[in-house]
Structure 1
Amino acid sequence: MNDVIIIGGSFAGLAAALQLGRARRNVTVLDTGLPRNRFAGHSHGLLGHDHKPPLDILVEARQQLTRYPTIRLVSARADSISGIIGHFSVLTGDGESLEGRRLILSYGVVDQMPDVPGFAESWGTSIVPCPYCDGFEVADQHWGLVWSGPQSMNQIRLFHDWTDRLTLFADGHDIAPDTRADMVRRNIPVVDGRITEIVRHGSRNATVKLDSARDVAVDILFAHPRTRPSASLHESLGLATVNTPTGIVLKVDERRETSIPGIYAAGDLTNPGMPSVTIASWQGATAGISAQQSMLA
């Protein structure tokens, strides 16, 4: 029997596996090979790996885990979970049945792209969600932001550390008069109308086409589409969730334990609105250590 089965082998899952492997616990990591940030050319802000392609970092991480004989990496999807703390069962898409004393869910989320031509094709290059990840490379250039709700005001205040040139796209949303007045005070133009197409130019620049206004060219476009968990295992388990402005995430305590004893979660699956490799790795390490300590005699 495994001590821990980890479902999801990106940054959070591998960070958890590393801590458990160093504690000489038997671990199986199931992974589909589709990390959320696979569309990004480079990952930024991760100490020691700044400006490296995220897939290259993951390849190196998996190679490093081969040092630990108690870690098993499996390319497979988890189809179902059953059992209770001390004896969980996981059935994979390949028909393998795994037993584990603890579970860590780190299968991440999927960004739900709007039905706008060019949007999905530009995601991770001309359209990005996080200024901490990509802001430095386009500092002092013309940024665009697609309004997604009141939480967009936090982004507007945040962006000021990187640029003073920002255009806000309402994209059909009703923006309150006081918010519009604040945009005037900040010298931020608000462009009304729905976005009908994104035309990408090179690696970053894009033209935003609208149904009721002129086209607007920007050097980078920030957007925050809603997310959903990339699997439904938490639903079948009945785990408690939290509905946030950007999507549903799993509810966890300070030890990363979910509402069911013995099941832990980490990474974007638990982290509303702050996609970060650094944070995912920290949460994964915390989940791994918490799972290990929960099994001490």
Structure 2
Amino acid sequence: MNFDAIIVGGSFAGLSAALYLARARRSVLVLDTGTPRNRFAAASHGFFAKDGSDPKTMLEIMRGQVAAYPTVQLRDLKAVAAARDGGGFRVTLENGEAVTGAKLLLAFGISDILPELPGLAERWGRTVIHCPYCHGYEFSGERLGVLNLSAMSAHQAILIPEWGPTTFYLNGGTIEPDVTAKLHERGVTIEPELVDCLVGDGTSLSAIRLRNGVERPIDALFVGPRNRFNSNIAERLGCAVENGPLGLVVKVDEMKATNVAGVYAAGDITRMGHTITFACADGVMAALAIHHSLMFGG
């Protein structure tokens, strides 16, 4: 079967696109590995009507609703390659099978590259968090910290005092005097010592242990780790990418089209701001562009 659109990635962006294409009565294949970026979080915040919901449950509901449309197929398989095939595309799956489609939407997402700090990985998405707009409110007024990982970390440390008293853990790094002044203006405490590990019961966080043995009490630690694409398909197809502050970004226009004709991209791989709201909106825009392209060519 030749599909109107093949969607590589079945999280919020991919499923939103699939829904709109299905409602346009187009045939759609959604390929997904079942490893969404926010699977480590117990609750998602900031998405209307679902604030505080389990993101895994949200995706299960979305999958069920999309699967109800007869023109949609959902397959739990990874796409390992894609190439031009006549006027469309041939996508090779991990089981060796090949599928074809007229249009291709890349929504395979990104993965965070966490620092190798003892105690951090098991708390990721719970008390070690990235986005204050997604999770900061739940720690309002508590003891907050920011771990220095890149030049963006200082910006994060200047932002976080909106939610509570903040310490910036330089972890042996340095900052410019003007940045230090801005941090002091915001009431941020600066801790220059190297960080040894995180301390707490289970996924809770009670302290940061420094290399000198001192423990600083803390309730939540914000980190801005670098990230990587979950697939190399965009680059292998020749899609233009650019360096963002924390990782690569696929370049798209306002309709989510890449520089490769017939290939669109949506979600976290296309932007620096990452929320479910953005991802769903991206998916909808890509679906509208794909549908118009299927009708009128291009």
- Partner residue, 2:44: 43
After TM superposition, the structure 1 = structure 2 runs for residues 88-127 of structure 1, keeping only pairs within 5 Å, are 88-127=89-128
**Residues 250 and 84 from structure 1, CA distance in 2 versus in 1: closer, same or farther, beyond 3 angstroms?**
farther
Tell me whether 1:62 sits opposite 2:63 in the alignment.
yes
TM (normalized to structure 2)?
0.94
Q: Conserved in 1, the CA contact under 8 Å of 2:143 and 2:219?
A: yes
Q: Which piece of structure 1 moves more, 286-295 or 31-40? A: 286-295
- Partner residue, 1:265: 265
> For residue 279 of structure 2, what is the amino acid of its counterpart?
A
Gaps of 5+ in 1: none
Moved over 4 A (4+): none
Following the alignment from structure 1 to structure 2, what is the Cα–Cα distance between the partners of residues 127 and 178?
27
- Partner residue, 1:128: 129
> For residue 35 of structure 1, what is the amino acid of its counterpart?
P
- Partner residue, 2:8: 7
Following the alignment from structure 1 to structure 2, what is the Cα–Cα distance between the partners of residues 141 and 181?
23
- Partner residue, 1:191: 191
After TM superposition, the structure 1 = structure 2 runs for residues 123-272 of structure 1, keeping only pairs within 5 Å, are 123-163=124-164, 165-201=165-201, 203-212=203-212, 214-272=214-272
Percent identity at matched positions? Answer: 38
Following the alignment from structure 2 to structure 1, what is the Cα–Cα distance between the partners of residues 241 and 179?
31
- Over aligned residue pairs, what C-alpha RMSD do you find? 1.6
The CA deviation string for residues 224-243 of structure 1, in whole angstroms up to 9 with x for no partner, is: 11000011112211211110
Following superposition, the deviation at residue 202 of structure 1 comes to: 5.0
> For residue 94 of structure 2, what is the amino acid of its counterpart?
G
Following the alignment from structure 1 to structure 2, what is the Cα–Cα distance between the partners of residues 155 and 116?
19
- The 3-state SS of whatever aligns with 1:115 is coil
Following the alignment from structure 2 to structure 1, what is the Cα–Cα distance between the partners of residues 61 and 148?
37
**Residues 235 and 278 from structure 1, CA distance in 2 versus in 1: closer, same or farther, beyond 3 angstroms?**
same
Q: Conserved in 2, the CA contact under 8 Å of 1:88 and 1:101?
A: yes
- The 3-state SS of whatever aligns with 1:201 is coil
- Partner residue, 1:17: 18
- Partner residue, 2:281: 282
- Partner residue, 2:293: 294
Q: Conserved in 1, the CA contact under 8 Å of 2:198 and 2:205?
A: no
- Partner residue, 1:53: 54
- The 3-state SS of whatever aligns with 1:94 is coil
Following superposition, the deviation at residue 135 of structure 1 comes to: 1.2
The CA deviation string for residues 174-212 of structure 1, in whole angstroms up to 9 with x for no partner, is: 111222233233321111122221223355434222224
Following the alignment from structure 1 to structure 2, what is the Cα–Cα distance between the partners of residues 120 and 266?
27
Q: Conserved in 2, the CA contact under 8 Å of 1:80 and 1:90?
A: yes
> For residue 98 of structure 1, what is the amino acid of its counterpart?
V
Q: Which piece of structure 1 moves more, 29-38 or 120-129? A: 120-129
- The 3-state SS of whatever aligns with 1:283 is helix
Following the alignment from structure 2 to structure 1, what is the Cα–Cα distance between the partners of residues 288 and 173?
44
The CA deviation string for residues 2-52 of structure 1, in whole angstroms up to 9 with x for no partner, is: 000000000000000001000000000000000000000001111111111
**Residues 144 and 85 from structure 1, CA distance in 2 versus in 1: closer, same or farther, beyond 3 angstroms?**
farther
Following superposition, the deviation at residue 81 of structure 1 comes to: 0.4
Following the alignment from structure 2 to structure 1, what is the Cα–Cα distance between the partners of residues 184 and 283?
43
- The 3-state SS of whatever aligns with 1:107 is coil
Q: Conserved in 2, the CA contact under 8 Å of 1:85 and 1:261?
A: no
State the number of aligned residues: 295
- The 3-state SS of whatever aligns with 1:221 is strand
> For residue 160 of structure 2, what is the amino acid of its counterpart?
F
Q: Conserved in 2, the CA contact under 8 Å of 1:239 and 1:258?
A: yes
> For residue 293 of structure 1, what is the amino acid of its counterpart?
H
Q: Conserved in 1, the CA contact under 8 Å of 2:122 and 2:203?
A: no
Gaps of 5+ in 2: none
The CA deviation string for residues 75-129 of structure 1, in whole angstroms up to 9 with x for no partner, is: 0000110116831000101222110000000010010011111111111111000
- The 3-state SS of whatever aligns with 1:158 is helix
Following the alignment from structure 1 to structure 2, what is the Cα–Cα distance between the partners of residues 85 and 265?
21
Q: Conserved in 2, the CA contact under 8 Å of 1:4 and 1:101?
A: yes
